[in-house]
Amino acid sequence: MTPAIATVRADCVADPAGTLTFELTAPAPAPESVLLLRRRGAAGGRPGGTVRIPLSGSGPGRLRAVLPASTELSEGRWDAYVEEPGAATARTVEPGLRDLRALVDRSPDTGAASVSARVPYPTADGRLALRCWVRAPHAEAGAVVVGPAGMTVEGVLYGVAVGEGAAVEARLPGDRGRAHRFPLTPADGPAGAFSFTLPYGPPAEGPVDGAQLWQLWLVPAAGAPGVRISRILDDVWSRNKSFVYPTRAPAPGVLATPCYTADNDLCLRLEPGPADR
């Protein structure tokens, strides 16, 4: 039996097209060794997919694997391993240096049917993983300005054109019928650029007896399905703790704060607050 490769460390470099090159520090591989990407299982115990990328020597004690931007990876989180024939188990990969500058402010073709993004990141327990998004169509959030009475958001819509009756909707999941719609306006910039202002007042009119996370959806035209507003075209794999916005008080005892989820979806968070704010 061929001995297993010890736990390895991988540096990552991204190019503007989204291709990722992994440089691994490890002994020379056995023939047919691969970098294994395994998608974490979905809800209900359904297994995720796997992608195997050949490893080749790139110098003494160095291995290289290239993940082309054209490789299909479904949306989710993918853990990285080294798989060697004859080894009982695949070995985890530790994150090294990550040069992801080329991913910042990416601008895909606005006419593309779908937008994909993938960002290498360190997991909480010190392993290398990829956060992947596949959106068709996609509404990319840009600048978020927090005003005294509402939040103004600029962005770009990919994969579908803005038509008559375009709007943004704030939806409260799990609370049937609680949604508020506000007009969408064209903005200066590339094709598909948009802007909207979401006032805090209407969502805050209902009872706010606990934390509420209002999802923001772009409706491209009257009667069209909504498109989730997110920010995925850069090098940030999770924005919920790194992007923090000011809090406002739209009603007595209610606090409103723009925020992102751990999956980079834009939301408005409402929560109870002091009655005098």
What confidence score (pLDDT) does residue 3 get? 46
The DSSP code for 244 is -
What confidence score (pLDDT) does residue 276 get? 64
167, pLDDT greater than 80: yes
What confidence score (pLDDT) does residue 32 get? 79
How far from 64 is each of 57, 70, 161, 222, CA to CA, in Å? 6, 18, 41, 49
Higher model confidence: residue 162 or residue 110?
162
Q: Are 117 and 232 in contact (CB under 8 A)?
A: yes
What confidence score (pLDDT) does residue 44 get? 43
CA angle 75, 76, 81 (to 5 degrees): 120
- State phi, psi for 10 to the nearest 5 degrees: -125, 130
Q: What percent of the chain has pLDDT over 90?
A: 69
What confidence score (pLDDT) does residue 116 get? 92
Residue 80 to residue 91: CA distance in whole angstroms: 9
What confidence score (pLDDT) does residue 56 get? 86
Mean local confidence (pLDDT), 158-174: 93
* 100-114, 206-220, 252-266: least confident range: 100-114
pLDDT, tens only, 87-102: 778 889 999 999 999 9
pLDDT, tens only, 196-224: 999 999 999 988 989 999 999 999 999 99
Q: Are 183 and 171 in contact (CB under 8 A)?
A: no
Task: Give the pLDDT band (50/70/90) at residue 190.
Answer: confident
User: Is this prediction's pTM over 0.85?
Assistant: yes
